[in-house]
Amino acid sequence: FLSFFLSFFSSLRDKKSSFVTRSLLFRKRERDGEEEMSWRSHGTTTNDSLIDALEANRLIKTHERVGKAMRRVDRKWYVLETDEEEAYRDHPVGIGSNATISAPHMHAMCLELARERLFDGGDDDTEGKRVLDVGSGSGYLVACFAEMLALDAKKKKKNNNNNNNNKVVGIEHIDSLVNQSMENLKNDGKTEMMKSGLITITKGDGRLGCEKFAPYALIHVGAAAPEVPPALLSQLASPGRMIIPVGGEYESQSLMVIDRNEDGETTYKDEMGVVYVPLTSEKHQLER
């Protein structure tokens, strides 16, 4: 009888400790003294309802940049047909080959971080902007980046279909996901962006980047690396920004924002704690 109560209270203590730990981790995600409302931005049955929730919870801070771009990319086309009911829920969804499409709140956060570099630098954009999405998976963020650039070009009265200076490159090492992402983009009405060269999807080891179109004003990495891959750093423009989760599989991970200025000086900022699938070899991913 005594041992039962000792075991019971020990269990309560462990649960309390676990709860406190989770609470502390959640509070680490606070910025500017306010909760980010992560995991609470569920939509209903439309893409607009999802974006409405992300904007209401301040995860999308710029309606004209990130909000409009995400409204032009319907998430239902980037999940498997069997998971369409989950398309507008604020959580990750499996897309096959042990890969996932990240939760919408993480996409919104990363797009806002990207927007700061791509559009708030005051440059004249005469040479265009190049973006690399490593581990592009479903193609969702590639489409969002492309829409951000297209909206910016329209604002400046440029025609992206006749101007290949702007470019978004998605690199993915799983053949089936490369093909799947291109089909997703077509289904979502991005065929002209692919034909014009604004969007390019290529197969390759994302840890090595894509030298062909380097340097990049923005590099986004959609999986966690144990350390920042040197090849990606070498392909980052000056000025440029890299957004990358850093940390081992099943270990603590941080979303790092790496900025390089016009003089080539590089700074690192730990933006928040995250949990991502690993940036790894094709073989290891398929065997996980």
Q: What letter would DSSP give residue 63?
A: I
CA distances from 21 to 14, 17, 24, 28, 160 (A): 10, 6, 5, 11, 48
CA distances from 143 to 12, 231, 233, 255 (A): 47, 24, 23, 21
C-beta atoms surrounding 168 within 10 Å: 30
Q: Which residue has the tokens 């193609």?
A: 139
CA distance 206 to 233: 12
Verify whether residue 38 is a known catalytic residue.
no
Sequence-ordered strand ranges (E) for 234-285? 236-246, 253-260, 266-274
CA distance 22 to 16: 10
Q: Exactly one of 38, 41, 97, 102 is catalytic; which is it?
A: 102
CA atoms within 13 A on the CB side of 30: 10
Picking from 142, 121, 137, the residue whose alpha carbon sits closest to that of residue 217 is: 121
CA distance 133 to 274: 18
Known catalytic residues are 102
